[in-house]
A = this chain, B = another copy of it.
Amino acid sequence: MSVRSPIRIVEVGPRDGLQNERTILPTEVKVAFVNALSKTGLSEIEVSSFVSPTWVPQLADAEDVFKRIERAPGLIYSALVPNEPGLERALAVGVAKIAVFTAASETFNKKNTNATIAESLERFRPVVARAKTQSLPVRGYVSTAFYCPYEGKIQPERVKPVAQALLDLGVDELSLADTIGKATPRDLRALLETVLLFAPQDKLALHLHDTYGLAIANALVAWEEYGICAFDASAGGLGGCPYASGASGNLATEDLVYALQASGAQVAVKPENVVAATKILASYVKRSSESRLGRVLQPSA
């Protein structure tokens, strides 16, 4: 095996995870959670989202969370930003990196953001431009990059124009998301073969969901076969898939880290510390741990 770059884990539990949990957590619990995650070796934590509190009440305290967390040196604390007002709010509290969110499926994008993909991209243009004047790196999510809950299979050719448009706007990183967890290694290879023709490998991240148990298989293929070194994951598998009630959603950070480390990848994260960080949420998120490692380390039986 050739020498590989270290793995970069983008922890999305505090944002993508908590956004999809029913309970709204107290600000101090979120702060404690982010602070605990800061001590696990993660590269980046997506802390919150500067969307309208009307749409996502779970993250209405984004400013407060950012003001109160203790920022560890070298760790990037990022946030989702839907538009220019959101960016100004983010800038006011010193967000270090922003993410914009669109999809490869027109129906999904419309239902999620009330805009066409083209409209979303136009909305991002001034956001990315302003972020650049502030030297903020920008990530662009491409949701439903494999399957859409409304449209079914999304061919790589439909991901291409969205990904290309985001790169043209100036995003520094693309996160290709398997929103409903249906991607197989075959689907993954097909998408990466297409995207790697125009996007550099080191600008690609994968956002995998483990709804059907395929996420680890996909992550290992992406790393072993394509050298992809950036992966999103959610501590404790936080964030059930909203399209399949009760199903597991996000890939658990600790399971991803375990699998990559066991496979020989260089990952600075200590998975047992991630499991420990999720304990902070135990009395608020009323579900058994969605992670395999969580069960090994904290047997409930």
Measured CB to CB, the residues of A under 8 A from B are 182, 184-186, 210-214, 216-217, 220, 224, 240, 244-248, 252, 255, 258-259, 262-264, 287-288, 291-293, 295-296, 298-301
**Min C-beta distance of A282 to chain B, whole Å:** 15
| Cβ B264 vs Cβ A186 within 8 A | yes
Choice from B214, B220, B291 contacting A259 with Cβ under 8 Å: B214
Q: How far is the CA of A263 from the CA of B186 in the complex (A)?
A: 6
| Cβ B263 vs Cβ A287 within 8 A | no
Known contacts A212-B259, A213-B293, A246-B300; can you find 13 more A-B pairs with CB under 8 A? A184-B259, A184-B264, A185-B224, A210-B292, A211-B292, A212-B292, A212-B296, A213-B255, A213-B291, A214-B262, A217-B259, A246-B301, A248-B295
| Cβ A296 vs Cβ B247 within 8 A | yes
In the complex, the chain B residue whose C-beta lies closest to that of A251 is B213
Q: How far is the CA of A157 from the CA of B216 in the complex (A)?
A: 27
Which of A210, A224, A245, A296 neighbours the largest number of chain B CB atoms within 10 Å of its CB? A296
**Min C-beta distance of A182 to chain B, whole Å:** 7
Q: How far is the CA of A296 from the CA of B181 in the complex (A)?
A: 11
| Cβ B246 vs Cβ A292 within 8 A | no
Q: Copy number in this complex?
A: 2
**Chain B residues closer than 8 Å to A214, beta-carbon distance:** 216, 259, 262
Q: How far is the CA of A185 from the CA of B220 in the complex (A)?
A: 8
In the complex, the chain B residue whose C-beta lies closest to that of A244 is B296
**Min C-beta distance of A234 to chain B, whole Å:** 14
**Min C-beta distance of A210 to chain B, whole Å:** 7
**Chain B residues closer than 8 Å to A213, beta-carbon distance:** 210, 213, 216, 252, 255, 258-259, 291-293
In the complex, the chain B residue whose C-beta lies closest to that of A299 is B246
Q: How far is the CA of A286 from the CA of B195 in the complex (A)?
A: 46
**Chain B residues closer than 8 Å to A211, beta-carbon distance:** 292, 296
| Cβ B263 vs Cβ A295 within 8 A | no
Choice from B182, B293, B299 contacting A262 with Cβ under 8 Å: B182
**Chain B residues closer than 8 Å to A185, beta-carbon distance:** 220, 224, 263
Q: How far is the CA of A192 from the CA of B186 in the complex (A)?
A: 22
Choice from B210, B244, B255, B301 contacting A299 with Cβ under 8 Å: B244
| Cβ B212 vs Cβ A245 within 8 A | no
**Chain B residues closer than 8 Å to A224, beta-carbon distance:** 185
Choice from B245, B291, B301 contacting A301 with Cβ under 8 Å: B245
Q: How far is the CA of A244 from the CA of B248 in the complex (A)?
A: 22
| Cβ B246 vs Cβ A295 within 8 A | yes
A212-B299 contact given A220-B185, A248-B292, CB 8 Å threshold: no
In the complex, the chain B residue whose C-beta lies closest to that of A298 is B246
